[in-house]
Chains A and B, each alone.
Chain A
Amino acid sequence: MITVALVGNVGNSVMVRGGLEVLLDATADALKSIGVRVVRSLERGAPAPDLFHFFGSFYGLEDAFRAATGSPRVVSPLLLLADDALQWWRAPVDRVRSRLPLSMLHSRYRMLRDADAVMPNSQEEADNSFAYGARGCDILRCGVDLDLFQPEPAPLESLPAEWQERCQQWLKRAPRVISVGRYERRKNQVEVALACKALGLPVMFIGRRSPVEREYADELRAATAFPELVWEDAPWSVLRWAMAQSDVHVLATRHETIGLVSLEAAASGARPVTITQPTSREYFSAFGEFAPDPSPAQLSAAISRAMTRGRLLKEERRHLEPVSWSAFAKGTLAVYERVLAQRR
């Protein structure tokens, strides 16, 4: 049995559950389900890992990566795309890059160069990884649990009693737009609200207050025509139910590698609207709609197109099968086995 340590930056999720933690949890669960032993914390008596799997390649992981020298190390370079959205960062790095040898550059490049395998989750991320030093890439697309996120909603009575009344109110609205994500300025929920207001569409937001932008949920309530539909801390069962009862899901941020929530919404039958970028195209071109930027005008146009198409058709949902967590886990295990065989 292979034992792998999954290592990500604690900083991303120490106050509130974040995308990286979701990804680590889902990866761990998927790997365990196919017989891989996963270590994520300092457990008494656990065997030493056969290999380390780092998620991020962002600043912060370099010490951990270096400390694992000697063991097989694989990297999932998750944040290259988010970085690339920050032009202030890319330009100076490129200037420095032209004058210094690769080994002098940021830890990310060393990680990409020195890793036994680099596992980006999109072609775009692979292109970036090659540009910054990776010698090879295994593209492993992730990830949605198609058994958990189903287009048929659970019965209303099965939801927690304190949420049933609110859910009933949601059913009285039609058509229905939903947007799920932590309430943060960079996720542009206010713009989504304004876009829906312009279209006269009811929109529901499900999320949590960010510990560093606690006031943003209030700004959102002030901006939307439906402040009663800004829900906080809804349980998972309600979230899944709401997605399955919605026509369109909107995720209007560039600060995502994929936007796992868009995949979950699509698996639940809500047609995803996302921001255009190569990764979004790779994942959602078969059934999604795109806005070139998160302005209310562009979002309105994309939401309107998605509304015209309606909920995902059964045959469209099949496009999600290659990005299921089970497919991801099998691909990841194959890379682990190859790396370990090369090291023997």
Chain B
Amino acid sequence: MPSHLLLPDAWRIQLLRNQAVRDSWLDALDASTFKLVDWETPRLSPDDELIVAGLDLSAAELVVKLPATLRVHALDVRWTLPLGPAHRFVKRAQQRLTRRISIPGVGTGLPPEPRRFLQQLAHAVGAKS
């Protein structure tokens, strides 16, 4: 079963802006077992698996709304700590996670090289399943 993958908003904006980078990501995703969750998103089912690549606030808002049966793994990437209630929102999302995955050297600013990133992610997910 493919895992649904939610990329950080910042990455998706960069992919929209750069056609070559976007196409390389789409090629890499096609070759992987990951299914991209996008703005025009496929519906998730309660028994799906979602990997959140960077728990930014947008992702946190999603995660806290997901049914308890849906497995949510978060990839640790750096994100900016906001002020106010949003911070509590992210904390709530963190409590909801099934597990956290770590891939060194990946940040939220610019999207990484897709093939290597997806291979690392698949390895991290597989190794810990």
Chain B min CB distance to A107 (Å): 6
**Contact mask for chain B residues 73-96; partner A; CB cutoff 8 A; 1 contact, 0 none:** 000000110111110010000000
Q: Give the chain B neighbours of A12 by CB distance below 8 A.
A: 61, 65
Q: How far is the CA of A61 from the CA of B9 in the complex (A)?
A: 8
Known A-B contacts A10-B41, A211-B46; the reply to A42 vs B82 at CB < 8 A is: no
Chain B min CB distance to A67 (Å): 4
B82-A10 in contact (CB<8A): no
B58-A11 in contact (CB<8A): yes
**Which residues of B in the span 56-110 have a Cβ within 8 Å of any Cβ on A?**
56-63, 65-67, 79-80, 82-86, 89, 108
B82-A107 in contact (CB<8A): yes
Which of the candidate stretches A88-96, A316-324, A330-338 sits at the interface with the other chain?
A88-96
Indicate if B115 sits at the interface (CB-CB under 8 A): no
Q: Give the chain A neighbours of B23 by CB distance below 8 A.
A: 44-45
Which of the candidate stretches A1-9, A29-37, A132-140, A141-149 sits at the interface with the other chain?
A1-9
Chain A min CB distance to B84 (Å): 5
Interface size on A (CB < 8 Å)? 45
Known A-B contacts A9-B61, A10-B41, A15-B66; the reply to A63 vs B80 at CB < 8 A is: yes
B83-A62 in contact (CB<8A): no
A16-B43 in contact (CB<8A): yes
B57-A59 in contact (CB<8A): yes
Chain A min CB distance to B14 (Å): 6
B10-A67 in contact (CB<8A): yes
B36-A42 in contact (CB<8A): yes
A63-B57 in contact (CB<8A): yes
Known A-B contacts A48-B16, A52-B13, A67-B9; the reply to A42 vs B38 at CB < 8 A is: yes
A15-B65 in contact (CB<8A): yes
Q: Give the chain B neighbours of A13 by CB distance below 8 A.
A: 41
A14-B82 in contact (CB<8A): no
**Contact mask for chain A residues 238-273; partner B; CB cutoff 8 A; 1 contact, 0 none:** 000000000000000000000000000000000000
A49-B16 in contact (CB<8A): yes
Known A-B contacts A8-B39, A15-B44; the reply to A59 vs B61 at CB < 8 A is: yes
Q: Which of B40, B66, B83 has the most CB of A within 10 A?
A: B40
A39-B16 in contact (CB<8A): yes
Known A-B contacts A11-B59, A71-B17; the reply to A59 vs B89 at CB < 8 A is: yes
Chain A min CB distance to B112 (Å): 15
B9-A11 in contact (CB<8A): no
Checking B37, B39, B63, B108 against A63 with a beta-carbon cut-off of 8 angstroms, the contacting residue is B108
Q: Which of B10, B44, B57 has the most CB of A within 10 A?
A: B57
B89-A64 in contact (CB<8A): no
Q: Give the chain A neighbours of B41 by CB distance below 8 A.
A: 10, 13-14
Indicate if A155 sits at the interface (CB-CB under 8 A): no
Chain A min CB distance to B15 (Å): 5
Q: How far is the CA of A89 from the CA of B60 in the complex (A)?
A: 18
Known A-B contacts A60-B58, A60-B60, A96-B84; the reply to A10 vs B13 at CB < 8 A is: no
Checking A10, A93, A106 against B37 with a beta-carbon cut-off of 8 angstroms, the contacting residue is A10
Q: How far is the CA of A107 from the CA of B86 in the complex (A)?
A: 10
Q: How far is the CA of A178 from the CA of B41 in the complex (A)?
A: 30
**Which residues of A in the span 163-198 have a Cβ within 8 Å of any Cβ on B?**
none
Indicate if A68 sits at the interface (CB-CB under 8 A): yes
Q: How far is the CA of A106 from the CA of B67 in the complex (A)?
A: 28
Indicate if A105 sits at the interface (CB-CB under 8 A): yes
Checking A41, A58, A93 against B84 with a beta-carbon cut-off of 8 angstroms, the contacting residue is A93
Indicate if A200 sits at the interface (CB-CB under 8 A): no
B-side residues, CB < 8 A to A, are 6, 8-19, 22-23, 25-26, 36-41, 43-44, 46, 56-63, 65-67, 79-80, 82-86, 89, 108
- 5 further A-B contacts with Cβ under 8 Å, apart from A44-B26, A59-B85, A106-B86, are A10-B38, A14-B65, A64-B9, A71-B17, A96-B84
Q: Which 6 A-B pairs have the closest CB atoms?
A: A11-B62, A64-B9, A60-B58, A11-B61, A67-B13, A67-B10
In the assembled complex, 19 residue pairs joining A and B whose CB atoms fall closer than 8 Å, in A order, are: A6-B39, A10-B39, A11-B65, A14-B62, A15-B43, A15-B66, A16-B43, A24-B39, A42-B15, A44-B22, A61-B57, A64-B10, A71-B17, A92-B85, A104-B83, A106-B83, A211-B46, A211-B66, A212-B65
